[in-house]
Structure 1
């Protein structure tokens, strides 16, 4: 489950950032970029999606000068059943103003094409609408947002009206390094479900043409309650 807000993807755990691409000749510039990455463990909101195994990930993004963007992203997963991969489709609008304030709103659909019920119907897919605001102060960047499940399949991990709130802080330093701290809260619409909070801390290093490397810590306060570490590499072109 790719981190939903496009701007957050670029700055945090599942790096999909756009550092280059194909520029199309038109009255308004547009750009297409491709991203690839490898992680030692694929985490989504505090939980491993690969049974603590490694993942190969990648996607394609389209960005228009108007602020519209759309893209797709995929990763292998391991849920202990026949499901082998995740395919995300998303679109939205994002912009940042001269005063450092930014916003990002859109929709993302999490698809698991080989996770099916006995009758062949999709059983794990779900979609979310999301919104994020951010503020670049210069020394640090602040961001926060909300994701809301608006449609789900019969056996999806999240259901209609489940909500996810998050806030984060990014601190760049020494030109090529950045620390990122995120706190997220999942509130289930089902009153019998256990709501929980998770925490992520990341150290990234921009290695220019060699991509970006990261070291990350994960913790959630309701189930495993163990600190887990993973490393990752990503690049885009």
Structure 2
């Protein structure tokens, strides 16, 4: 669920895992590897502790891109049976003046329980420091129910190597109710809100350090602090 964790996804927030590469002026291939105190997806714990994550991205100068990303997992409802997640994603970006449109799809693969495998489609836009994205799937992580997710973030530079990124997301549908909200509330609704505030420090040699405060409005779900160290490199 590479959504806001290693930004992409989120654009790299060390907790919630993800966003796809922006349009490139030349074809590029990059890799990344990181260690995080927790893996959170849309505000919800996925790893039950520390997570090691990594991925590979290729962006063509036409705007087409493809990538893959992986993390260890151990989330509520899996009863310790799901230990690995591997994502494959691809799409296309195109700029219209100052606005960039991003269209694509994610495939979430769980090696130990393929009934959770999910295909999710997304449409995003970015303009300057602002980014927003909407996601949809007809089978939300093995529930046979649909699910929608919308998220927005704003990257605020605090200096040459420091940035603060607030983010908010909203999940809605019978899928999120069955897979997420029911794990926190005996009378679950069909929606929940997640939010984060992430401080990212760029270091030397492609390293970046992140400190994130992440929370949801789910019943009895406390806010979490996630720290991470990530290295990005050219291939």
TM range (shorter): 0.7 to 0.9
Q: Which residue of 1 aligns with 2:11?
A: 11
Q: Deviation of residue 62 (structure 1)?
A: 1.0
1:47-91 deviations in Å (ceiling 9; x for gaps): 11012x000000111110000000110000013321101000100
Q: Which residue of 2 aligns with 1:126?
A: 118
Q: Which residue of 1 aligns with 2:133?
A: 145
Q: Conserved in 2, the CA contact under 8 Å of 1:164 and 1:186?
A: yes
Q: Which residue of 2 aligns with 1:54?
A: 50
Distance 1:68 1:161 in 2: 27
Q: Which residue of 2 aligns with 1:100?
A: 98
Q: Deviation of residue 145 (structure 1)?
A: 1.6
Are 2:220 and 1:232 equivalent residues in the alignment?
no
Q: Deviation of residue 205 (structure 1)?
A: 0.4
Count of residues in Structure 1 that have an aligned counterpart in Structure 2: 214
Q: Conserved in 1, the CA contact under 8 Å of 2:215 and 2:223?
A: yes
Q: Which residue of 2 aligns with 1:25?
A: none
Alignment match of 1:36 (pick from 26, 30, 33): 33
Q: Conserved in 2, the CA contact under 8 Å of 1:4 and 1:108?
A: no
Are 2:157 and 1:172 equivalent residues in the alignment?
yes
Q: Deviation of residue 193 (structure 1)?
A: 4.6
1:75-133 deviations in Å (ceiling 9; x for gaps): 00013321101000100012445x43112110001110112xxxxxx211111000111
Q: Conserved in 2, the CA contact under 8 Å of 1:5 and 1:104?
A: no
- TM superposition score normalised by structure 1: 0.81
Q: CA 1:90–1:17 in 2, change beyond 3 Å: closer, same or farther?
A: closer
Q: Conserved in 1, the CA contact under 8 Å of 2:4 and 2:41?
A: no
Are 2:70 and 1:70 equivalent residues in the alignment?
no
Q: Which residue of 1 aligns with 2:111?
A: 113
Distance 2:167 2:18 in 1: 17
Q: Which residue of 2 aligns with 1:2?
A: 2
Are 2:201 and 1:205 equivalent residues in the alignment?
yes
CA RMSD of aligned residues (A): 2.7
Distance 1:103 1:64 in 2: 15
Long gaps (5+) in structure 2 = 178-186
Q: Conserved in 1, the CA contact under 8 Å of 2:163 and 2:200?
A: yes
1:159-216 deviations in Å (ceiling 9; x for gaps): 4421001111110121101100111000023688521001111000001315000000
